[in-house]
Structure formats: C-alpha cells, structure tokens
C-alpha cells in the first residue's frame, strides 16, 4: 500500500479497460488503486473513462471520472475542484494525456504544431497551475509529467511531438525549482518504445517495428505496466528526495 491515504488525479486515464491494450494513464489508475490511492480519472474520452472507472469499482477501488480537455483552463479547474470536493485532498497529479504526430519539419503544418504544443506543453502547464495552490496549502504534493525519450533526443520524424515533449521536460524542472520550498516535487518520466493504444498503429508494420527494436538494447518494447511502476515510485514517499529529475524507462535506448 505505497500510496495509502493519497489522492491522485490522472489525466489521460480513460485507456484502462480490462482485456484491452492499456495506455500509461489507464495502467496507472489500476496500479494506484491497488497501492491504496483514491483516484480521479480525467479524460476527454467519456465512454472508456467511465467504463474504466466502473471496472475498477467492481474491484472495490475508490475512483471517480470527470471529463477533461487538457487544453482548457476551465476544465482543469473543474477537475481539480472535483477531486478535492470528492476526496478532501489532492496529493498527486499525473499528466498522461497525449497524442502523436510523425511529420518531419517540412511536413509539419502550423495546426499540427499547435495541436502538439496544446495537448502536451499547454496541458501540462495548465494542470500544474491548477493543482499548485492546493498543494501549497497542504504543504506537499507530487506532480509527474509524462514526457518521452523524444523529449531528450532527436529522430528522423515527429518534429512537433519532440518539441512538445521537450517543453514538458523543462516545465517539470522549472516548476520543481519554484516550489521545492513548499514541499512540492515535480518530475518527468521518459518512456521509450512501449506497447500502448497510441503506438499500436506505428508498431503494426513489422519492418518499422524491427527498425525500432534494433535501437533497444533489451531487444523489446516496454509495457504500460512497466512505465506505471516508475510513476508509482515518483508518486510515493519513497521518492521524497527526488525532484526536478528525469526517470528514463526505455530498455537502454538513450544510454547509447
């Protein structure tokens, strides 16, 4: 029960339906509840979000759902207020909401650029801004941003995605420095290639998958559960001396 008596808000957590491929947020929701946390799943996908919540409740987990468009400040404020009203506190924010784009520089339109920045960088910023006053009042909190190895290194594609995930990485560091004195820790998680609903189309091509696996020393893609295990560490008191850090979970890819 590493998260006992803690309340977590997880954006992008609707992809946690049992017997289906889960995303990072959905896997986190299940594991957080199993570790004793009370959880609010917030997502723009109301159908799967409610389905995930219903399934977790069947397993006696304390969890609720609220619709959240991470690009809207009013939605963030409503989600944070809902979490505090429902569970009396808010200890953990996990920013898992995300989308993908694969375009090279010359193929990246202004709309593609803006969409990636809005969901990842702006979404993480608005979520942080919404929870900070609550966490200051409580004297503690843990904010965890899902970045990517693409927020650390470059590649042959995904221009806007790389830039947006890089922004998330530095947002975490900057926020960590500003609010360390308030007992608030902020860290970023950088998954490598992992099997999730977001990457399923990319891995469907066997040749493309083989090219990616050749870059991973451990020779396989990761799972949502493996990423969620790292997030649990950062959410728990086990990481009480960790802030402004990058947790890379990538099978050794960026060590080369």
Which of 161, 179, 193, 233 is catalytic? The answer is 161
Q: Is 161 a catalytic residue?
A: yes
Per the CB < 8 A criterion, the answer to whether 217 and 19 are in contact is: no
C-alpha to C-alpha distances, 251 to 26, 29, 149, 166, nearest whole angstrom: 21, 23, 11, 20
Per the CB < 8 A criterion, the answer to whether 165 and 150 are in contact is: yes
Q: What angle do CA 227, 92, 189 make, to 5 degrees?
A: 30
Residue linked to tokens 């017997």: 19
Q: List the one residue out of 76, 34, 72 whose CA is nearest residue 235.
A: 34
Q: What angle do CA 186, 187, 192 make, to 5 degrees?
A: 160
Residues annotated as part of the active site:
161
């Amino acid at each position: 029960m590493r998260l006992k008596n803690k309340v977590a808000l997880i954006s992008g957590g609707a992809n946690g339906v049992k017997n289906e491929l889960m995303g990072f947020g959905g896997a986190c929701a299940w594991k957080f509840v199993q570790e004793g946390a009370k959880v609010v799943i917030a997502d723009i996908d109301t159908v799967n979000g409610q389905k995930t919540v219903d399934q977790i409740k069947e397993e006696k987990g304390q969890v609720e759902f609220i619709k959240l468009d991470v690009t809207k400040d009013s939605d963030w404020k409503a989600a944070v207020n809902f979490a505090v009203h429902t569970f009396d506190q808010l200890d953990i924010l996990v920013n898992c909401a995300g989308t993908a784009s694969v375009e090279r520089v010359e193929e990246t339109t202004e709309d593609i650029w803006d969409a990636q920045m809005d969901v990842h960088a702006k979404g993480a910023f608005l979520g942080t801004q919404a929870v900070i006053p609550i966490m200051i009042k409580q004297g503690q909190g843990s904010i965890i941003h899902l970045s990517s190895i693409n927020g650390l290194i470059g590649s042959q594609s995904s221009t806007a995605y790389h830039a947006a995930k890089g922004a998330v990485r530095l947002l975490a560091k900057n926020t960590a420095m500003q609010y360390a004195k308030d007992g608030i820790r902020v860290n970023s998680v950088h998954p490598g290639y992992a099997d999730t609903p977001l990457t399923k189309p990319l891995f469907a091509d066997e040749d493309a998958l083989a090219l990616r696996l050749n870059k991973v020393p451990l020779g396989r893609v990761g799972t949502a559960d493996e990423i969620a295990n790292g997030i649990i560490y950062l959410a728990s008191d086990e990481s009480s001396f960790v802030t402004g850090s990058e947790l890379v979970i990538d099978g050794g890819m960026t060590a080369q």
